[in-house]
Each structure stands twice: as structure tokens, then as C-alpha cells.
Amino acid sequence: MHPAPSVIIFTSLSGLGFGLLFWLGLGVLAPTGWVAFVFFVIAYLLAVGGLLASTFHLGHPERALKAFTQWRSSWLSREAWASVAALIVMALYGAGLVFFGTRIALLGWIGALLSIGTVLTTSMIYAQIRAVPRWHHWSTPAMFLSFSLAGGALLAGEIMIALPLLAIAGTIQVYTWIDGDSRLARSGTDIASATGLGTTGTVRAFEPPHTGTNYLLREFVHVIGRKHSRNLRVIALASGFGVPILLMLLPFSHMLAALAVLFHLAGLFASRWLFFAEAEHVVGLYYGKR
């Protein structure tokens, strides 16, 4: 799949932002006044910034409001609802902390649930797609949720929560790579089933339908991004999880914590790049590619 920068930025940043909102809503940290203001501004910049970035890849962003209509069947529509609901509820909750110094626990819990629910709907947009066997798996939501929770805890400065969650997220990450590499082969979809021609012999793509490229090849058969897969995996794992864990084991300082967040973010971008670039869409089989 084509690793569109807008979607990589969106899923990474909004995942972090909603993760932070989750821990804020849960009351694990309940800052008030200016401190609360800074935490909420960071969370909203990430969550809303990510959502705005996601509209950049729309052909007609002026019609984006229509995306709220099909929540009965569409995970993308559900994501629209969940994100707006989470942002509104958490804004009210945040206003209580910032301006009145009071924590309305029930509002926080609802906001936390909606925040993490938004991350779930994002992940389901990918996990529902059967045509991409690497994504069509429980580990896709597990990865998005664990990343969001770990990154959110890291941003919140909750080291005792962030440490085990980063380790868990890193483990899930490694599992998605190892298991994901063979999912296309195990899916049962191959050039023989794609063409229905496999009964009498071995099928080979002889001639493509067009001499140049097309939308399908650009969007779904993006192979350039896979070239440095192994190196990027090492970078994603070390920078996203390894280094932040080491930095947090050192005596606490705001400098080190900020560094840990930056390393985590860089690793997150590398991981998300691979999530798209390495995903094989079965339409590639029609072109004898993957």
C-alpha cells in the first residue's frame, strides 16, 4: 500500500493524542490550572492536528461532513463520530480541571472510553480490509491500542505505567512483523484463485493491461517503501520502544522525558511507514506482483 504521509502523520499523532486524553480522563493524573492547560493543549494539538492531516488525503474535503452518515456499516464513519464525541467530552472535562480546579470523574471516564474507542475505530478501518491479509487480523487493533496507551502514558510522564506498556507494545510490534510476513501466503488468495485459471497448470502474469502505471499500481503495489524494511524495523523497534525504556530507567528529568517522547515519535513514524509500505493488497496478484 502507498504510505501516504498524511495518513502516517494522522494515525501516529492522533493515536498519541487520544492516548494522552485516555490517561487524563481516567484520572491517573489529574492536574489543575496551568499544568492541566498545557497537558490538554498538547493532547488536542496531537489529536486534532492528526485529524486535520487526515483530511488532506481526501479528494473532496468540503464534503467531509457527509462522513458522519454511515456509522451503521462504516468504521470510517464511526471514527468520525467517536473522535468528535471524545474531543467534546474531554473539552468539558478539561475545562473543569483548568478553570475550576474540579475533576468531574464520570465525564473523565466517558471521555477516556471515547478516546480509546476512537483509536479502536481507526485500527478497524485497516483490520476490516480482507483484501490486505497483513492487516485483516486481531493484531492490528492490538497494535494501534497498545501504541496509543503506551505513547499516551509516556507523554503523561507516568513512568511506571509507560514502562510495561512500551514493552508490551514493542512485543506486539515484533509479532505483527513475524506473523504478518506470511499472512498473504496463508490467506489462500493467490494468482490461481484471482484468475480462476489454476486448474490446468501454473499461472503467470504474461502481459499487463497497460504499458504505463495506473492508480491501482501506485496505490496498492507500492514496493519502493519495502526496500529498507529490515533496517526500518530495527529503527522502529529501537527508537520507538528500546531507547525510551532505557531513558526512563535513568533518574527522572524533564529533559530525558522529552527525549524519550521524541525517540518514541520517530520510531512510531518508522513503524507506521512500514505498516503501509509492507501491506500487500491482493490486487497486486493480477499484475503478478505483491
CB of 183 to another protein, least distance (A): 13
Q: Which is nearer to another protein, 160 or 200 (CB)?
A: 200
Q: 252 — phi, psi (to 5°)?
A: -65, 135
- Can you give the binding site for another protein, defined by CB under 8 A? 1, 57-61, 63-64, 66-70, 72-77, 80, 125, 128-132, 187-189, 191, 193-197, 199-210, 212-216, 219-220, 281-283, 286-287
Q: Can you say how many angstroms the Cα of residue 231 is from the centroid of all Cα atoms in its chain? A: 20
CB of 131 to another protein, least distance (A): 4
DSSP line for 56-115:
TT-S-GGGGGGGGS-TTT-HHHHHHHHHHHHHHHHHHHHHHHHHS----HHHHHHHHHHH
Q: Which is nearer to another protein, 77 or 118 (CB)?
A: 77
Report CA-CA distances (Å) from 167 to 69, 162, 171, 221: 39, 8, 6, 32
Compute the distance between CA of residue 283 and CA of residue 219 in angstroms, rounded to an integer: 10
- Unique residue bearing C-alpha cell 502507498: 2
Q: Which is nearer to another protein, 138 or 215 (CB)?
A: 215
CB of 286 to another protein, least distance (A): 6
- Unique residue bearing C-alpha cell 494501534: 144
Report CA-CA distances (Å) from 163 to 18, 92, 150, 250: 18, 30, 8, 12
Q: Which is nearer to another protein, 37 or 81 (CB)?
A: 81
Compute the distance between CA of residue 59 and CA of residue 73 in angstroms, rounded to an integer: 22
Q: Which is nearer to another protein, 204 or 254 (CB)?
A: 204
CB of 181 to another protein, least distance (A): 20
Alpha carbons within 13 angstroms on the beta-carbon side of residue 7 total 18
CB of 133 to another protein, least distance (A): 10
Compute the distance between CA of residue 217 and CA of residue 290 in angstroms, rounded to an integer: 10
Q: Which is nearer to another protein, 222 or 264 (CB)?
A: 222
CB of 136 to another protein, least distance (A): 10
